[in-house]
C-alpha cells in the first residue's frame, strides 16, 4: 500500500501530458526513481521531478493525489486501473482517458474528453468510478465502454458521444449533441432540463414514461446523492439515442423537469 | 431399550442421520408486492422435493421485508441444492426462466454474500430472452441484466454464488397412528420454519415415503424404506415395534452442518413436546451404516 502525492511546481505554465503518470508504473519505485520517470512538457520529454514535487507515503491506502493549478495538465488518471486517484483542483483534457478500474475524484472542473479514448485507442473508459465535482468540457464519456461517471455540475457539448456502454450521471445541464452516435449505455440527467430537450431531433426517440426499477439498486453515496431527483421523481421519462445511427442508448430524466 | 434417553416420554433411538455433500445456492425473488413475489417463489420451488427425480431440492427459506432485499421491495429467499454444480446450475436456470422471468414485476438476485469463485450464470443465460434489447448494468461491483418484458423490465443478477451444502439430514417420527405422527411432524416443521440456512423441501416439510438405496427393480435407484413401513411387519426385517402404526420423516438440507444439527434439535424437541402425550413413540433417523455420507448427525449428541 502506497500513497504517492504530486504537487505541480510553480512556474509550470506549458501544457503537460501527464498520461504517463500511472499507478501501475509507479508503485514499488523509490522516490528518486519516480522523479526520473519521463513526462511530456510542451512536447519535450523531461523527468517527472522537473514538473512535480513528489511525496511518497508507505503503509497507507493505495492512492495517487495530484495538487496544483492543473488546468493545463492533460491526461491525468489516464489508464488508471485500481485504487483511488484524487485530483485537488481543476484539470485539463483527457482526464481519465482509458480509465479501467478504481476511483477518481476531481475536486474541480475537468476539460474535454473526460473518460474518453487514449490516442490510438478505439474505446474510452472501461471500468471504475469517475467523479467530477465540478463541470466538464465537451465529449465527456466519448466512446465510453463500461464503468460509471458522475458529473455533479454541467457538461459541454457531445456528452456521451459514441458511447458504447456504461453509465453517466449528470447533476447539471448538458449542451448540444448529447449522446450523438451513442450505441448503448445510460445517461441519467438529474438536473432540470430545458422544456424543448430532445424534441424535434432525429437523434432521439419520443419521450416515454419509464419504470426505472434498476435505480433502486444504487444504495450508496455519492451516486444516491446525485440521482436523488430521479429516485424521488413521481415519473421518469426516457428517450433512446442515437436512433439515427441505430443506437439503443437511453437517457433518463425526471418528468417534472420538462 | 431402557438406556435410551426419553424426551417427554418419547424414546430417542441412539442412532444417527447420514447426510451427503451437495452444491447449494440462495436466490432472492422480489416483486412489486408480496403476492407476486410469493407466486414466483412458490412456482420456482415447486417439484423440488428430492434430487432422486426432481434433480433439485429447493424451498422457500424465508420471507424478506423490503428493507432486507437488494431493490427495496418485498421478497423471498429460496435455498436450492443439487448433487453437482453443473446440475444445480442447469436446474436453477430452467426454473428462473420459467417461474420468475414469467411472473409479473419480479426481479431475481443472488442471496449469498461474500466472495465465491464458483458461480451460477443466471442473468448470463436468461439475458438472451431480451433478443438483443437487454441492457447490462454493473452496480456496486455486481452485474445485472435488464431484460425487456411486457410489464417493464426483468432485473436479474448476472451470476450468483455457488457454495458447498449438505443434503439429507433427517429424523423419523414413529407414532402409534397417523394422527400422532402428523401432529408431531407439523410441530417440528413449524419450529424449523423460522430458521435460516436450512430447508425442509418435501410437501409441508414432511415425507412419508422414506426410501432406501436401491431396489429389486434394476431401473430404480431408490425404493420404499420397508424397515419403517408398518404394513410390512412380518414380511421384512422391521425396525418398528408392534404398537407403531405410522412413521413420518423430516428431511433437511442446509448450508452448514450446524444449521442442520440445530434444526434437527429444534424439530425433535418440538415434536416431542407436541405429541409425546398423544402417541409419538420414538424418534429415529435414517442412515446407510455410515458408509455413504460423510456427515453424521447423532441424535443423542444433538439433543444434549
Among A118-127, A142-151, A211-220, A248-257, name the most confident range.
Answer: A142-151
Rounded to the nearest angstrom, the gap between the alpha carbon of residue A232 and the centroid of all alpha carbons in its chain is: 25
- The stretch A136-149 carries a mean pLDDT of 98
Q: Residue A247: which of A178, A184, A160, A159 has the closest Cα? A: A184
| Phi, psi of B122, rounded to the nearest 5 degrees | -85, -75
- The stretch A164-191 carries a mean pLDDT of 95
Q: Give the one of A165, A186, A214 whose C-beta lies nearest to B155's C-beta.
A: A214
Contact (CB, 8 A) for A198 and A239: yes
Mean pLDDT of chain A, nearest integer: 93
Residue A255 has pLDDT above 90, yes or no: no
With CB atoms and an 8 Å threshold, state whether B152 touches A220: no
Q: What value, to the nearest 5°, has the Cα angle with vertex A224 and ends A140 and A76?
A: 35
d(CA B240, CA B234): 11
Instruction: Tell which A residues from 140 to 159 touch B, by Cβ distance under 8 Å.
Output: 146-148
- The stretch A55-68 carries a mean pLDDT of 88
- The pLDDT score that the predictor gives to residue B125 is 98
- The stretch B101-119 carries a mean pLDDT of 96
Lookup: cell for B106: 419480479
- The stretch B232-252 carries a mean pLDDT of 96
d(CA A81, CA A78): 9
With CB atoms and an 8 Å threshold, state whether B153 touches A211: yes
- The pLDDT score that the predictor gives to residue A58 is 80
Task: Give the DSSP H/E element, type plus range, for residue B259.
Answer: helix B257-275
- The pLDDT score that the predictor gives to residue A191 is 83
Residue B2 has pLDDT above 50, yes or no: no
Task: Please tell me the pTM assigned to this model.
Answer: 0.92
Mark B22-31 as b/e (b = at least 16 C-beta within 10 Å). Answer: bbbbbbbbbb
Rounded to the nearest angstrom, the gap between the alpha carbon of residue B37 and the centroid of all alpha carbons in its chain is: 19
Determine what percent of chain A is predicted with pLDDT higher than 90: 82
Q: Give the one of A148, A213, A220 whose C-beta lies nearest to B152's C-beta.
A: A213
Distance from CA of A186 to the nearest CA of B (A): 9
Residue B295 has pLDDT above 50, yes or no: yes
With CB atoms and an 8 Å threshold, state whether B135 touches A220: no
Contact (CB, 8 A) for A143 and A123: yes
| Alpha helices in B84-235, H assignment, sequence order | 85-95, 123-126, 178-192
Q: Does A17 touch chain B (CB under 8 A)?
A: no
Name chain B contacts of A216, Cβ cutoff 8 Å: 71-73
Q: Residue A226: which of A111, A89, A133 has the closest Cα? A: A133
- The pLDDT score that the predictor gives to residue A196 is 67
Q: How confident is the model at residue A231 (pLDDT cuts 50, 70, 90)?
A: confident
- The pLDDT score that the predictor gives to residue A257 is 52
| Phi, psi of B221, rounded to the nearest 5 degrees | -95, -15
Residue B97 has pLDDT above 60, yes or no: yes
Task: Give the DSSP H/E element, type plus range, for residue B274.
Answer: helix B257-275
- The stretch A114-136 carries a mean pLDDT of 96
Query: B195-234: per-residue pLDDT in tens?
Result: 999 999 999 999 999 999 899 999 998 999 999 999 999 9
Name chain B contacts of A215, Cβ cutoff 8 Å: none
Secondary structure of chain A as H, E, C letters: CEEEEEEECCCCCCCEECCCCCHHHHCCCCHHHHHCCEEEECCEEEEHHHHEEEEEEECCCCEEEEECCECCEECCCCCCCCCEEEEECCECCCCCCCCCCCEEEECCCECCCCCCCCCCCCCCCEEEEEEECCCECCCCCCCCCEEEEEECCCECCCCCCCCCCCEEEECCCCCCCCCCCCCCCEEEECCCCCCCCCCCCCCECCCEEECCHHHHHCCCCCHHHHCHHHHHCCCEEEEEECHHHCCCEEEEEEHHHC
| Phi, psi of A183, rounded to the nearest 5 degrees | -95, -55
Instruction: Tell which A residues from 190 to 249 touch B, by Cβ distance under 8 Å.
Output: 211, 213-214, 216-220, 248
Q: Residue B188: which of B58, B304, B256, B276 has the closest Cα? A: B276
Task: Work out whether strand B280-284 and strand B163-175 pair parallel, antiparallel, or are unpaired.
Answer: antiparallel
Q: Which residue has the cell 433411538?
A: B13
Task: Give the DSSP H/E element, type plus range, for residue B268.
Answer: helix B257-275
B175: Cα within 13 Å, side-chain hemisphere: 25
Chain B residue with Cα closest to A167: B137
Lookup: cell for A216: 433502486
Q: Give the one of B133, B135, B155 whose C-beta lies nearest to A213's C-beta.
A: B155
d(CA B282, CA B7): 9
- The pLDDT score that the predictor gives to residue B22 is 98
Task: Give the DSSP H/E element, type plus range, for residue B263.
Answer: helix B257-275
CA dist list (Å): A228 to A221, B99, B224, B225: 10, 33, 60, 61
- The pLDDT score that the predictor gives to residue A253 is 93
Q: Transcribe B57-101 into DSSP letters.
A: EEEEEEEE-GGGSTTSS-EEEEEEEESSHHHHHHHHHHHIIIIIT
**Is B105 buried (19+), middle (13-18) or exposed (0-12) by CB count in 10 A?**
buried
Query: B124-159: per-residue pLDDT in tens?
Result: 999 999 999 999 999 999 999 999 999 999 999 999
Q: Give the one of B70, B140, B152 whose C-beta lies nearest to A220's C-beta.
A: B140
Residue B293 has pLDDT above 50, yes or no: yes
- The pLDDT score that the predictor gives to residue A159 is 97
d(CA B107, CA B65): 15
- The stretch B90-110 carries a mean pLDDT of 98
- The stretch B248-265 carries a mean pLDDT of 98
Q: How confident is the model at residue A194 (pLDDT cuts 50, 70, 90)?
A: low
DSSP structural state of residue B211: E
- The stretch B18-36 carries a mean pLDDT of 98
Task: Give the DSSP H/E element, type plus range, for residue B25.
Answer: strand B16-30
Among A28-37, A51-60, B167-176, name the most confident range.
Answer: B167-176
CA dist list (Å): B100 to A6, B75, B155: 52, 12, 10
Q: How confident is the model at residue A258 (pLDDT cuts 50, 70, 90)?
A: very low
Q: List residues in chain B touching A: CB distance below 8 A.
A: 70-73, 107, 133, 135-140, 144, 146, 152-153, 155
- The pLDDT score that the predictor gives to residue A61 is 79
Amino acid at each position: 500500500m502506497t500513497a504517492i502525492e504530486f504537487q505541480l511546481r510553480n512556474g509550470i505554465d506549458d501544457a503537460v501530458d501527464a498520461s504517463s503518470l500511472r499507478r501501475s508504473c509507479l508503485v514499488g519505485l523509490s522516490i528518486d526513481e519516480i522523479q526520473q520517470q519521463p513526462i511530456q512538457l510542451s512536447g519535450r520529454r523531461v523527468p517527472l521531478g522537473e514538473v512535480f514535487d513528489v511525496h511518497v507515503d508507505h503503509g497507507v491506502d493505495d492512492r495517487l493525489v495530484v495538487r496544483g493549478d492543473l488546468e493545463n495538465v492533460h491526461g491525468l488518471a489516464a489508464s488508471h486501473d485500481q485504487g483511488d486517484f484524487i485530483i485537488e483542483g481543476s484539470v485539463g483534457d483527457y482526464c481519465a482517458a482509458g480509465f479501467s478500474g478504481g476511483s477518481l475524484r476531481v475536486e474541480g472542473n475537468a476539460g474535454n474528453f473526460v473518460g474518453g479514448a487514449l490516442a490510438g485507442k478505439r474505446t474510452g473508459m472501461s471500468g471504475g468510478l469517475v467523479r467530477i465535482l465540478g463541470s466538464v468540457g465537451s465529449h465527456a464519456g466519448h466512446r465510453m465502454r463500461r464503468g460509471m461517471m458522475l458529473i455533479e455540475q454541467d457538461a459541454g457539448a457531445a456528452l456521451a458521444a459514441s458511447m458504447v456502454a456504461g453509465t453517466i450521471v449528470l447533476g447539471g445541464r448538458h449542451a448540444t449533441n448529447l449522446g450523438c452516435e451513442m450505441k448503448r449505455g445510460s445517461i441519467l440527467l438529474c438536473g432540470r432540463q430545458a422544456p424543448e430537450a430532445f424534441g424535434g431531433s432525429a437523434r432521439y426517440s419520443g419521450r416515454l414514461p419509464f419504470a426505472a426499477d434498476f435505480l433502486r439498486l444504487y444504495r450508496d453515496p455519492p451516486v444516491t446523492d446525485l440521482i436523488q431527483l430521479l429516485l424521488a421523481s413521481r415519473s421518469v421519462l426516457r428517450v433512446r439515442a442515437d436512433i439515427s445511427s441505430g443506437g439503443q442508448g437511453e437517457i433518463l430524466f425526471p418528468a417534472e423537469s420538462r | 431399550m431402557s438406556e435410551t434417553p426419553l424426551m417427554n416420554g418419547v424414546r430417542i433411538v441412539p442412532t444417527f442421520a447420514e447426510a451427503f455433500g451437495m452444491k447449494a445456492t440462495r436466490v432472492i425473488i422480489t416483486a412489486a408486492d408480496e403476492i407476486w413475489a410469493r407466486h414466483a417463489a412458490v412456482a420456482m420451488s415447486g417439484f423440488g422435493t428430492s434430487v432422486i427425480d426432481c434433480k433439485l431440492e429447493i424451498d422457500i427459506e424465508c420471507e424478506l421485508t423490503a428493507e432486507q432485499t437488494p431493490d427495496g421491495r418485498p421478497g423471498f429467499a429460496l435455498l436450492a441444492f443439487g448433487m453437482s454444480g453443473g446440475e444445480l446450475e442447469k436446474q436453477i436456470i430452467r426454473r428462473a426462466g420459467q417461474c420468475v422471468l414469467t411472473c409479473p414485476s419480479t426481479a431475481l438476485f443472488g442471496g449469498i454474500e461474500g466472495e465465491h469463485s464458483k458461480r451460477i450464470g443466471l442473468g448470463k443465460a436468461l439475458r438472451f430472452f431480451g433478443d438483443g434489447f437487454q441492457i447490462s448494468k454493473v452496480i456496486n461491483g455486481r452485474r445485472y441484466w435488464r431484460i425487456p418484458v411486457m410489464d417493464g423490465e426483468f432485473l436479474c443478477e448476472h451470476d450468483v454464488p455457488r457454495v458447498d451444502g449438505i443434503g439429507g439430514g433427517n429424523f423419523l417420527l414413529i407414532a402409534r397412528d397417523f394422527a400422532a405422527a402428523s401432529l408431531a411432524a407439523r410441530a417440528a416443521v413449524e419450529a424449523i420454519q423460522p430458521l435460516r440456512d436450512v430447508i425442509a423441501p418435501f410437501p409441508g416439510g414432511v415425507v412419508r415415503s422414506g426410501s432406501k438405496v436401491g431396489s429389486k427393480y434394476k431401473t430404480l435407484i431408490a425404493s420404499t424404506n420397508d424397515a419403517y413401513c408398518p404394513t410390512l411387519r412380518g414380511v421384512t426385517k422391521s425396525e418398528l415395534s408392534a404398537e407403531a402404526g405410522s412413521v413420518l420423516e423430516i428431511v433437511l438440507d442446509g448450508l452448514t452442518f450446524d444449521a442442520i444439527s440445530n434444526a434437527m434439535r429444534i424439530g425433535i424437541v418440538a415434536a416431542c413436546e407436541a405429541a409425546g402425550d398423544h402417541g409419538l413413540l420414538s424418534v429415529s433417523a435414517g442412515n446407510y451404516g455410515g458408509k455413504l455420507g460423510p456427515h453424521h448427525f447423532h441424535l443423542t449428541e444433538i439433543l444434549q
